[in-house]
Amino acid sequence: MPNCELQQRQVLVIGAGPSGAIAAALLKRKGHDVLVIERQRFPRFSIGESLLSHCLDFVEEAGMLEAVEAAGFQHKNGAAFAWGEEYSAFDFGLTFSQGKPSTFQVQRAQFDQLLADQAQAQGVEIRYEHEIVSVDMGGDCPRVRVRRPEGDEYEVESAFVLDASGYGRVLPRLLELEAPSNFPVRQAVFTHIEDRIDHPGFDRDKILITTHPEHRDIWFWTIPFSNGRTSLGVVAAAERFAEAPADLDACLKYFVAQTPSLSKVLANAVWDTPARTIGGYSANVSTLHGPGFALLGNAAEFLDPVFSSGVTIAMRSASMAANLLHRQLAGEAVDWQAEFATPLKRGVDTFRAYVEGWYDGSFQDVIYHPGSSPEIRAMISSILAGYAWDLRNPFVAEPKRRLRTLAELCARTPA
């Protein structure tokens, strides 16, 4: 476009969600000039509402913990699992890694707005409703073209671009970096309800993961908030929805009705919000970085919502990238593969092993086994709390082998 306005900034961050806000704030705190381009107007809806304890380590690093703690979000101290009459709870205060003992369950519209506002309060510029339409990585510096809400366009040249665009996956799309995920195509149908839960066995301080009584690859999340509302969703392989009603509200109720333990918890619920769906969300890329750019969080890879790992991976990648980029901008030689991609992937692969184990039933056998030792439960609880990079934990250092061995000990004998 002739006569296109050109702006120059030191760092451009794509997306103002949790990873973008954290990365931008960390870089700003280290003295760098940061611009965030966000396609949407905040607040906006998002799933990924049950935070893991490890998230708060990065919120604290970015100087935002006090604001998050004061916001009135639902306290969360662990995760509970239910399957028929079986129930198993893990306490984040009893973990091998001895990380933060609790975290929060959040409505993401408010949480993401809070983090973005905190980044702005630290001096980060965020431009909402600005959309990146093209990118040129061929010159000495990355250059992106941005469309304003009014429709006119401008260009931004920067020393480096961090893509925190989440499901938007801006750079993977524009640079043709997308790669197929090896996970089966799954679908989630979800809503928010006025829960009115008075069931004596329900713990509002934990996320509740419920396994379908007959089909162990179907599961539900129940995430209570501090305002009497709850996020409820069902996840299954796409073909499982073939026999369910096409109407999303009826579909979700159909699966809940098949699951008596969950039906009892939700007996008084007011279903007052239209259900939504998302499918085929598992994603991957051919590379996490390249000359002048790096991919954060869901923009790079998303596994599955079962253990709420998405926001943790996003924040961890933001912290790693921001600290590495700070060194690079200071003139230090850095190795993005060895210092970012490889160590980040190590934790992602740990989560992957347990997600795969969840769906093939082996990790469910471990979770629902009544005789696990406190030491092993503490190691598993560390992973559920987000500490999937703690290589001192044997179930992190060798996730597949350790899980396979433990699952064989916990395997159920056919009735």
CA distance 40 to 55: 23
Please state, for a pLDDT cut of 90, what percent of the chain lies above it.
Answer: 87
- Overall CATH class of domain 186-279: alpha beta
Task: Report yes or no: 158 and 142 within 8 Å, Cβ to Cβ.
Answer: yes
Higher per-residue pLDDT: 388 or 305: 388
With CA atoms as reference, report the closest residue to 314 among 207, 166, 171.
Answer: 166
Q: Output the six-digit token pair for 212.
A: 């379908």
Residues with Cβ within 8 Å of 308's Cβ and at least 6 positions away in sequence, in order, are 48, 50, 51, 52, 207
pLDDT band (50, 70, 90) for residue 178: confident
Domains of the chain, residue spans? 5-74+100-180+282-346, 186-279
Which numeric CATH code is attached to 5-74+100-180+282-346?
3.50.50.60
pLDDT at 1: 44
How many CB atoms neighbour CB 379 within 10 A?
23
- Give per-residue pLDDT as tens, 121-149: 999 999 999 999 999 998 899 999 999 99
CA distance 2 to 74: 52
pLDDT band (50, 70, 90) for residue 281: low
CA distance 113 to 111: 5
Mean pLDDT value across residues 191-210: 97
Residue 331 vs residues 324, 326, 328: alpha-carbon distances, Å: 11, 9, 5
- Mean pLDDT of the residues in the chain: 94
- State the Cα angle at 43 between 38 and 44, rounded to 5°: 80
pLDDT at 414: 56
pLDDT at 3: 63
Q: Output the six-digit token pair for 360.
A: 């093939």
| Maximum separation of any 2 CA atoms in the chain, in Å | 75
The model's pTM: 0.95
Residue 4 vs residues 7, 14, 125, 156: alpha-carbon distances, Å: 10, 20, 21, 10
Residue with tokens 């085929």: 280
CA distance 337 to 352: 20
